[in-house]
Chain A
Amino acid sequence: MRKLLLSAAAAMILFSGTAFASGDTPKAPAQKWSFSGIFGTYDRAQLRRGFLVYKDVCAACHSLDLVAYRNLMDIGFSEAEVKAIAAEQEFRDGPNDEGEMFDRAGRPADHFKAPFENENAARAGNNGANPPDLSLMIKARLRGPDYVHGLLTGYKETPPKGVTVPEGMSYNTYFPGHQIAMAPPLSDEAVEYKDGTKPTLDQHSRDIVTFLAWTASPEMEVRKRMGIKVMLFLLVLTGMLFALKKRIWSDLH
């Protein structure tokens, strides 16, 4: 029996592509991002707005486990701001000297507080669906930034003719299979911006994508800057080595 199950599992795994990959999900349109290209950097104002979108909207359901509050200092938040942001959350800590667990205000060293205690709580609160952690979302999807932007702007209130969407689900153009358990999270003016940027759905999506691109690859700016220096160094070195090679080999024949 176990052998049968194993073979069945292996066969399913080997050929499972067939069932899913033949979907009619269109590619999300390519967008321009401040962080693409070898000179790309994260737009600081956009990161701040993106953080606001996460805090006001996404954080209600999605965790950001891999990011600590102190990391926000890397993108221009001051120490005082970070302390204040962390202190808004309560964390369970302990045991103290009496052996009791206690609640305390968040500190910069804490990681972003998850909205749910565990997966079961998350599912119970979300119609059975488990909202994924967003820390690495941009790296965990093909053409991540474009896909997430497409997903956030790709909701249709009325699905195309002949498609029925079950109760509690929404229709999304770019989600594989089109049925998504997340109700449209953003809309025009969903989040209030203080820097005068127009709070459109498209703008919100771009801002949160930029913020999540940073949470996924916080090293990107350092990496690219170092890369340019390394490449320039190597180009010169390669040229010199080539000249040296020519010279050493010139006494042959």
Chain B
Amino acid sequence: MSELNLKNPVLKWIEYRLPIFAFMKHETVDYPTPKNLNYWWNFGSLAGIILVVMIVTGIVLAMHYTPHVDYAFASIERIMRDVNYGWLIRYLHMNGASMFFLIVYIHMFRGLYYGSYKAPRELLWMIGVAIILVMMMTAFMGYVLVWGQMSFWGATVITNLFSAIPLIGDWIVSWLWGGFAVDNATLNRFFSLHYLMPFVIFALVFVHLWALHVHRSSNPLGIDTKTDGDSIPFHPYYTIKDTFGLSVFFLFYLGFVFFAPDFYGEPDNYIEANPLVTPAHIVPEWYLLPFYAILRAFTADFFLYWPISWLMSAKLAGVIAMFLSILVLMLLPWLDTSKVRSGKFRPIFPYFFWIFIADCIFLGYIGATTPEGWRIIGGQLGTAYYFGHFFVITPLLGWLETPLPLPESISAAVTKEGGES
């Protein structure tokens, strides 16, 4: 840790009154980071950067966008055609949403594999779950702003879910809509909230980083840093590693923006919203598909629904299950009974980890296709497995599995491997 030695009198004056430069140096330059982080640890900083890209492109788009049912669709096409580089800004924003989710999902799965959510980082993890929830709301509302067919009908389906709440359901739906259908009032409030929520995410990210910097990054070995030799300063080691990762990511991201900008989109959303024509097949964006599959899995004959069928409708059960599928992550630090953090030292866990990833992808496929034939049963089994993974497999595995011996320290493990850190 080197001392901060300011020469500039103005900076000195500021520092004496608000020690911001010492703070920045301490938290970003000197910040001790485990020396053995692999490339899966790049995705946190990538998520922060894509958030900034989304906010900047979004602010520019809002300068040209008109949140009115008669003009919304046309104003976006005006951005695409008549605004200077409007197509670039719009495609950056549109594909940026998909990239944001891709990055955050990888970031989350990294946390799942290496046990990053375990003590003392439970709250850090829970703030992260709050971030993904707000991200989903933001993305959903942003998608509605396009005012294409899928925007409109997606908004109708999702807002209608709240009508499943007993007694006050209808009232809540009308309150969300600001009327008796998805209409101008709905579009206006979604625009307002879509502009607000990224700043909520930004604040949550700040708290997420604050919590991170208390106990600092976990690492692939899942053991605590003990000596100075276990850590390296963030700068220059991780600044250059993150910058390199960012450059690779931009190759991927901009590849879609320039050569396949509509890859993640639905063709139907290039048709202006029409309340009188229902599209043949209503699907959400890819990043919400697994949750959509869980929602649809709850039909009257679903075996998970039987025990609660006296209590609520299948539709309400589906809605609750959909929210629970994300909220269950909040409980994960306590559902996981394993004594070690990293999946590296758990002989059986990795198999279940990969099965779980396969299950999420499978649910995504089910969410994208029409529920008929085997896919109904498939979606129900996939949903049951999703919850089984958290409520049954995760606690049991911690008890039954004998972890491999942990290395003494990060330095010891790194030197033994003799490889790159």
Q: Which residues of B contact A253 (CB under 8 A)?
A: 414-415, 421
Interface membership of chain A positions 2-31, coded 1 if the CB is closer than 8 angstroms to chain B and 0 otherwise:
110011011111111110111000000000
- Whether A238 pairs with B371 at a CB distance below 8 angstroms is no
**Cβ of B232 < 8 Å from any Cβ of A?**
yes
- Whether B262 pairs with A10 at a CB distance below 8 angstroms is no
Q: Which residue from B163, B250, B254, B259 sits with its C-beta under 8 Å from A224?
A: B259
**Cβ of B208 < 8 Å from any Cβ of A?**
no
- Stretch of B14-22, B237-245, B304-312 with 4 or more beta carbons under 8 angstroms from chain A: B237-245
Interface membership of chain B positions 225-241, coded 1 if the CB is closer than 8 angstroms to chain A and 0 otherwise:
00000001000110011
- Whether A231 pairs with B280 at a CB distance below 8 angstroms is no
Minimum distance in angstroms from A230 CB to a CB of chain B: 6
Q: Which residues of B contact A18 (CB under 8 A)?
A: 370-372
**Cβ of A163 < 8 Å from any Cβ of B?**
no
Can you list 6 residue pairs at the A/B interface with Cβ under 8 Å? A7-B163, A10-B315, A18-B371, A245-B240, A245-B241, A248-B240
B interface, how many residues as a size bin? 35 or more
Minimum distance in angstroms from A130 CB to a CB of chain B: 10
Interface membership of chain A positions 220-238, coded 1 if the CB is closer than 8 angstroms to chain B and 0 otherwise:
0001101110110011011
**Cβ of A176 < 8 Å from any Cβ of B?**
yes
**Cβ of B255 < 8 Å from any Cβ of A?**
yes
**Cβ of A165 < 8 Å from any Cβ of B?**
no
- Given that A223-B87, A253-B421 are contacting pairs, would A6 and B258 also be in contact in the complex, using a CB cutoff of 8 Å? no
Q: Which residue from A66, A227, A241 sits with its C-beta under 8 Å from B244?
A: A241
Extra A-B contacts (18), CB below 8 Å, given A6-B160, A140-B268, A249-B240? A2-B170, A15-B371, A17-B280, A22-B370, A38-B259, A135-B77, A140-B270, A142-B267, A223-B91, A224-B258, A227-B258, A231-B254, A234-B254, A238-B247, A238-B251, A245-B241, A249-B421, A253-B414
**Cβ of B88 < 8 Å from any Cβ of A?**
yes
Q: Which residues of A contact B271 (CB under 8 A)?
A: 132, 136, 140
**Cβ of A244 < 8 Å from any Cβ of B?**
yes
Q: Which residues of A contact B7 (CB under 8 A)?
A: none
- Whether B372 pairs with A230 at a CB distance below 8 angstroms is no
Give the distance in Å from the alpha carbon of A84 to the alpha carbon of B261 in the complex: 35
Q: Which residues of A contact B267 (CB under 8 A)?
A: 139-142, 144
Give the distance in Å from the alpha carbon of A234 to the alpha carbon of B236 in the complex: 21
Interface membership of chain B positions 71-86, coded 1 if the CB is closer than 8 angstroms to chain A and 0 otherwise:
0001001001100000
- Whether A17 pairs with B370 at a CB distance below 8 angstroms is yes
**Cβ of B248 < 8 Å from any Cβ of A?**
yes
Q: Which residues of B contact A230 (CB under 8 A)?
A: 254, 258
Secondary structure type dominating chain B contacts = helix
Give the distance in Å from the alpha carbon of A242 to the alpha carbon of B164 in the complex: 53
**Cβ of A80 < 8 Å from any Cβ of B?**
no
Q: Which of A196-253 contact B (CB under 8 A)?
A: 216, 218-219, 223-224, 226-228, 230-231, 234-235, 237-238, 241-242, 244-245, 248-249, 252-253
Minimum distance in angstroms from A249 CB to a CB of chain B: 6
In the complex, residue of chain A having the shortest beta-carbon distance to the beta carbon of B159: A10
**Cβ of B93 < 8 Å from any Cβ of A?**
no
- Whether B157 pairs with A13 at a CB distance below 8 angstroms is yes
In the complex, residue of chain B having the shortest beta-carbon distance to the beta carbon of A40: B259
Give the distance in Å from the alpha carbon of A9 to the alpha carbon of B420 in the complex: 59
Interface membership of chain A positions 147-178, coded 1 if the CB is closer than 8 angstroms to chain B and 0 otherwise:
00000000000000000000000000000100
Q: Which residue from A13, A136, A224, A241 sits with its C-beta under 8 Å from B247?
A: A241
**Cβ of B35 < 8 Å from any Cβ of A?**
yes
Give the distance in Å from the alpha carbon of A227 to the alpha carbon of B74 in the complex: 26
In the complex, residue of chain A having the shortest beta-carbon distance to the beta carbon of B279: A16
Interface membership of chain B positions 383-404, coded 1 if the CB is closer than 8 angstroms to chain A and 0 otherwise:
0000000000000000000000
Q: Which residues of A contact B278 (CB under 8 A)?
A: 12-13, 16
In the complex, residue of chain B having the shortest beta-carbon distance to the beta carbon of A12: B278
Secondary structure type dominating chain A contacts = helix
Interface membership of chain B positions 361-374, coded 1 if the CB is closer than 8 angstroms to chain A and 0 otherwise:
00000000111100
- Whether B232 pairs with A252 at a CB distance below 8 angstroms is yes
Give the distance in Å from the alpha carbon of A137 to the alpha carbon of B280 in the complex: 17
Nearest first, the 8 A-B pairs at minimum CB distance are: A227-B258, A17-B370, A20-B280, A140-B270, A241-B244, A219-B87, A10-B160, A238-B247
- Whether A231 pairs with B258 at a CB distance below 8 angstroms is yes
Q: Which residue from A16, A218, A235, A237 sits with its C-beta under 8 Å from B280?
A: A16
- Whether A3 pairs with B169 at a CB distance below 8 angstroms is yes
Q: Which of B270-316 contact A (CB under 8 A)?
A: 270-271, 278, 280-282, 296, 315
Minimum distance in angstroms from B321 CB to a CB of chain A: 14
**Cβ of B156 < 8 Å from any Cβ of A?**
yes
Q: Which residues of A contact B296 (CB under 8 A)?
A: 14
Q: Which residue from B163, B254, B371 sits with its C-beta under 8 Å from A17?
A: B371
Minimum distance in angstroms from B269 CB to a CB of chain A: 8
Chain A CB within 10 A, most for which of B74, B156, B259:
B259
Q: Which residues of A contact B248 (CB under 8 A)?
A: 238
- Whether A3 pairs with B241 at a CB distance below 8 angstroms is no
**Cβ of B360 < 8 Å from any Cβ of A?**
no
Give the distance in Å from the alpha carbon of A22 to the alpha carbon of B369 in the complex: 11
- Given that A17-B282, A140-B271 are contacting pairs, would A227 and B170 also be in contact in the complex, using a CB cutoff of 8 Å? no
Q: Which residues of B contact A219 (CB under 8 A)?
A: 80-81, 87
Minimum distance in angstroms from A111 CB to a CB of chain B: 10
Minimum distance in angstroms from B414 CB to a CB of chain A: 7
- Given that A13-B282, A139-B267, A227-B258 are contacting pairs, would A238 and B370 also be in contact in the complex, using a CB cutoff of 8 Å? no
In the complex, residue of chain B having the shortest beta-carbon distance to the beta carbon of A144: B267
- Whether A223 pairs with B88 at a CB distance below 8 angstroms is yes
Q: Which residues of B contact A249 (CB under 8 A)?
A: 237, 240-241, 420-421
Minimum distance in angstroms from B74 CB to a CB of chain A: 8
- Whether A248 pairs with B258 at a CB distance below 8 angstroms is no
Interface membership of chain A positions 54-84, coded 1 if the CB is closer than 8 angstroms to chain B and 0 otherwise:
0000000000001000010000000000000
Give the distance in Å from the alpha carbon of A216 to the alpha carbon of B77 in the complex: 10
Q: Which of B186-218 contact A (CB under 8 A)?
A: none
**Cβ of B153 < 8 Å from any Cβ of A?**
yes
Give the distance in Å from the alpha carbon of A15 to the alpha carbon of B254 in the complex: 36
